A and B are shown apart, each in its own frame.
Chain A
Amino acid sequence: MSDMPTRLIASGSQTVGPFFHFGPGDHPQLGSLIAPGTKGERLDLQVRVFDGQGAAVPDALVEIWQADAEGRFAAPAPGAPRTDAFTGFGRMPTGADGRCTFQTIRPGPPADMEAAHINLCVFMRGLLRHIYTRLYFAGDPALGIDPVLLLVPDQRRATLLAHPQAPGSAVWTFDIHLQGDQETVFFDL
């Protein structure tokens, strides 16, 4: 007998469908990643989702996952009660305007030559499997050295940038285009 473990096949993905709002979409506390003691620069992150005709997607479920102000992913032990410690995880459904908003902090720069970023995972009716992407912050001087961003063809890098509503604003917007000229770069991980 080989001591290689038997490989099982991961369960097939199926769409989240249109009716998740009373289940995974029903936890408004997951829209705020911050507590009074959370360190870091506060920001309101608006994520907007658009379909292949440019129409707002009113039934997407958006998850974000990010490092803390020191650039660390700090997941607490599973089952631990919620504390002021930064969890880095958020989840919100989009509204009729295709938008959802997270109260969070700007993540700190990762240690090793990367630009600060927030990971995203998106589910919706019409997606049989979820899609992964990542947002960076427009104007970040580290954009030019980030190894993942450097994998992206020049002309598509802008699709991964979040922008402040106005210079100096704490409100940042990240648009996800599922298709079209501005189609967001999604990742094969």
Chain B
Amino acid sequence: MTHDERDPLLTGTQPPLLYPPYQSTVLRAPTRPLLRVPANMSDFNAPVYGYLPIGEADHDLTRQSAEEPQGQRITVSGRVLDEDGRPVPHTLVELWQANAGGRYRHFNDNHPAPIDPHFTGSGRTMTDAEGRYRFVTIKPGAYPWRNHHNAWRPAHIHFSLFGPSFLSRVVTQMYFPNDPLFPYDPMFQSIPDPRARERLISAFSLDLTEPEWALAYTFDIILRGPNSTPFEQRT
């Protein structure tokens, strides 16, 4: 059992550990029941903060090199909220992604698409006092992987957030609207509830699109918590 499986409101909103269509889960997903530890017995809810210095261009992946990267310039912005709808201020948001051709700057990525020497694909920022964040980047490309014949990942951006404690920790992926690869992607499909899957799809915003400069996508992230309210007491 996991906390979401214990809560009827959360049924299907998180992926299972074992999901054979995603082949790597077969030898890596724990097989025994997780050990339930009551919230008041654990210090996993102690405050945590990943120390990372935030540089001036860390939120802008188009300004991390002497020249601009290739691809469609976009902004990705949104709010980080807890389950009660309260903003999560001053928390670290990290993202990483493939370049416009669907290639990661990574020693294990053998996809024969070009490396862009002007694109690291890595950024980080902190949410402001209202839980807002904003990145400037380029739209990543889809890319093939070897999970099954003709497997392609939909274009996505990886996100990692802390929130107030290890219990609010989340690593997820942001997708783009209307991607034709969604029905075929076992990672996206691993979340049973279609509404929960849709919440991982960013929205295009004409209002936030900057004329003559960049398309805008918005993506709100909801963290588990707050910790002040034990989950066992929630209805």
Contact with A22, one of B3, B105, B126 (Cβ below 8 angstroms): B105
In the complex, the answer to whether B42 meets A187 with C-beta atoms within 8 Å is yes
Partner among B25, B44, B200 whose Cβ is within 8 Å of the Cβ of A12: B200
Contact with B along A69-100 (1 / 0, CB 8 A): 00001011011011000011101000000000
Binds A, one of B16-24, B65-73, B208-216: B16-24
Pairwise interchain contact A129-B15, C-beta atoms closer than 8 A: yes
Q: Mark B residues whose CB is within 8 Å of A.
A: 1-4, 6, 9-10, 13-17, 19, 22, 24-37, 39, 41-44, 46-53, 81-86, 89-92, 94-96, 98, 104-109, 120-122, 126, 158, 160, 166-167, 169-173, 187-188, 190-191, 196-197, 199-200, 221-224, 234
Whether a CB of chain B sits under 8 angstroms from the CB of A169 is no
Q: Chain A: residues with CB nearer than 8 A to chain B?
A: 5-24, 26-27, 29-30, 51-53, 55, 57, 59, 63, 65, 67, 73, 75-76, 78-79, 81-82, 87-89, 91, 110, 119, 121, 123-132, 147-148, 151-152, 178-179, 183-189
Known contacts A23-B121, A78-B126, A129-B15; A188/B37 CB under 8 A: yes
Report whether A189 and B37 are in contact in the complex, using a CB–CB cutoff of 8 Å.
yes
Complex CA distance for A17 and B1, rounded to whole angstroms: 23
Min CB gap B224→A, angstroms: 4
* Total of A-B residue pairs, C-beta within 8 Å: 241
CB distance from B105 to the nearest CB of A (A): 5
Contact A126-B28, Cβ < 8 Å, known A16-B158, A188-B35, A189-B167: yes
Please, which residue of chain B has its CB at the minimum distance from the CB of A87? Answer: B51
Q: Which of B25, B82, B94 contacts A128 (CB 8 A)?
A: B25
Q: Which of the residues B104, B122, B222 comes within 8 Å of A8, measured between beta carbons?
A: B222
What B residues does A128 contact at CB under 8 A? 15-17, 19, 22, 25, 187, 190
B50 to chain A, nearest CB (A): 6
Which chain A residues border B105 with CB–CB below 8 Å? 22
Contact across chains for B47 and A183 when beta carbons are under 8 A apart: no
Which residues of the other chain, A, contact B22 by a CB distance below 8 angstroms? Answer: 15, 126, 128
CB pair B158–A148 under 8 Å, yes or no, is no
* B106, A22: Cβ atoms closer than 8 Å: yes
